[in-house]
Amino acid sequence: MIESSAPGASPDSQGHVLVVDDEECVMRTLGRLVSRLGYRTVGTTKTSEALTLLSLRRFDAIISDLRLPMPTGGVFARHAPSLAPGVPLIVVTGAGDLAEVWDLLGEARVEAVIPKTAVDVAIASVLARAVSAGRETREAGQEARLLADGLVRALAVRDVETEAHSRRVAAWTLMLAQHMGLPREDWPRAELGGLLHDIGKIGIPDAILRKPGKLSEAEWVEMRRHPELGCTILSGIPALADASDIVRSHHERWDGKGYPDALAGDAIPLHARIFALVDTYDAMTSDRPYRKGLPHSAAVEATRTGASHQFDPRVVETFLAIPEHEWRAVARIFADHGTLQR
């Protein structure tokens, strides 16, 4: 990993740009070019390192080679938008065939695709526009995200495994919402709801929340109050109002046999229908003290079986079309004791 900044520039005034290319000479050249434009840069040739950086640090833009391979298959540029929502992606490529470019990118949303032969000419204006647009998007949702992060950490003090689970299902909910074609303005709502879905468990007594064995029927009645408790908590925080539909309805079922409102079909908010599948998938593929998590293939079959009674069939259809490596990429970043390791 290589970090650099423009000589004499104030670190607080610069944008932060991640540069990723598997050819070190190209990565260094791009890094120097971007640094001369006044940005702080972090450069790497390793996809695994880039994934870690995206999970730990905030960037104003990502510049990536088109064909940089992911450890689980596919290319980094295709996955970067879901791994770093709201961070503009600029793809630099030597590919001359546009059909090949869009085939490799799939449905990924990119700020620009720049031929390597035109980088010197185009990068300044493209990067300035990308950084400006990205900051406006993130600043609009910054208050909500900071509040949500604080609440999730507070819950994690009582239930240590909740934080990794919450961040993982939030990322998966965003990914599934994107694949379903939800508009970009709905993406923060999907991610925020996924992150905060269990926040009502703050109001559940420790004797129930931390009980190592099975809950009694009376204890289950208390545990099932957490969606309503979560909505009560969020009702006093206007910036988090968009998360309420997932928080209240994430245990509803397509057939109407869920809780707390016994909603059925399209009466369940779409974001909650998307999250319900993701949450169940995570439960199936995660290790528990009493069993090992299922492999992806087994979880897929169980989900297929749940179509039309537990899950929205349209959500299931989209889920089934997403390659396994996309689920694994998120799981690796937000892993706990054993998620999708098989």
Is 262 within 8 Å of 256 (Cβ atoms)?
yes
Instruction: Return the DSSP state at 342.
Output: -
What is the pLDDT, as a whole number, of residue 290? 66
My answer on whether 250 and 205 are in the same domain is yes
The vertex-92 CA angle with 87 and 96, nearest 5°, equals 140
What angle, 0 to 180 degrees and rounded to 10, lies between the N-to-C axes of helices 270-285 and 187-196?
50
Cα torsion angle, 95, 101, 103, 106, sign? positive
Question: Would you place residue 338 in the very low, low, confident or very high pLDDT band (cuts 50, 70, 90)?
Answer: very low
Q: What are phi and psi of 10, to 5 degrees?
A: -80, 125
Q: Which of 81, 102, 136 is the last residue of a domain?
A: 136
- Report whether pLDDT(339) > 60: no
Q: What is the CATH number of the domain that holds 55?
A: 3.40.50.2300
My answer on whether 318 and 250 are in the same domain is yes
Residues spanned by the domain of 298: 159-333
Tell me the pLDDT tens digit for each residue of 194-233. Answer: 999 999 998 999 899 888 888 999 999 999 999 999 999 9
The vertex-163 CA angle with 158 and 169, nearest 5°, equals 140
My answer on whether 132 and 163 are in the same domain is no
What torsion, rounded to 10 degrees, do the Cα atoms 263, 266, 268, 274 define? Answer: 140
My answer on whether 68 and 13 are in the same domain is yes
Question: Would you place residue 340 in the very low, low, confident or very high pLDDT band (cuts 50, 70, 90)?
Answer: very low
Q: Mean pLDDT over residues 323-333, rounded?
A: 81
My answer on whether 70 and 177 are in the same domain is no
- Report whether pLDDT(160) > 80: no
Q: How many structural domains comprise the chain?
A: 2
What is the pLDDT, as a whole number, of residue 342? 42
Is 147 or 268 the better-scoring residue by pLDDT? 268
My answer on whether 168 and 230 are in the same domain is yes
- Report whether pLDDT(146) > 80: no
Nearest to 190 by CA among 258, 252, 231, 246: 246
Does 313 reside within a domain? yes
Q: What is the CATH number of the domain that holds 168?
A: 1.10.3210.10
Does 258 reside within a domain? yes
Nearest to 144 by CA among 87, 82, 84, 192: 192
H/E element holding 52?
helix 47-56
Is 159 or 33 the better-scoring residue by pLDDT? 33
Does 149 reside within a domain? no
My answer on whether 131 and 187 are in the same domain is no
What is the pLDDT, as a whole number, of residue 184? 75
Is 182 within 8 Å of 207 (Cβ atoms)?
no
My answer on whether 308 and 176 are in the same domain is yes
Does 152 reside within a domain? no
> Strands across the sheet with 2-4, in order?
2-4, 40-44, 16-20, 61-65, 89-93, 112-115
Does 271 reside within a domain? yes
My answer on whether 28 and 110 are in the same domain is yes
Mean pLDDT, the chain, whole residue set: 84
How far is it, in rounded angstroms, from Cα 122 to Cα 119?
Answer: 5
Question: Would you place residue 87 in the very low, low, confident or very high pLDDT band (cuts 50, 70, 90)?
Answer: confident
Does 322 reside within a domain? yes
How far is it, in rounded angstroms, from Cα 321 to Cα 305?
Answer: 15
Q: Mean pLDDT over residues 16-42, rounded?
A: 91
Q: What percent helix, strand, coil does the chain show, rounded to 5?
A: 60, 10, 30
What size, in residues, is the chain? 342
My answer on whether 115 and 183 are in the same domain is no
Does 148 reside within a domain? no
My answer on whether 93 and 208 are in the same domain is no
My answer on whether 237 and 327 are in the same domain is yes
Tell me the pLDDT tens digit for each residue of 244-278. Answer: 999 999 999 999 999 999 999 999 999 999 999 99
Does 341 reside within a domain? no
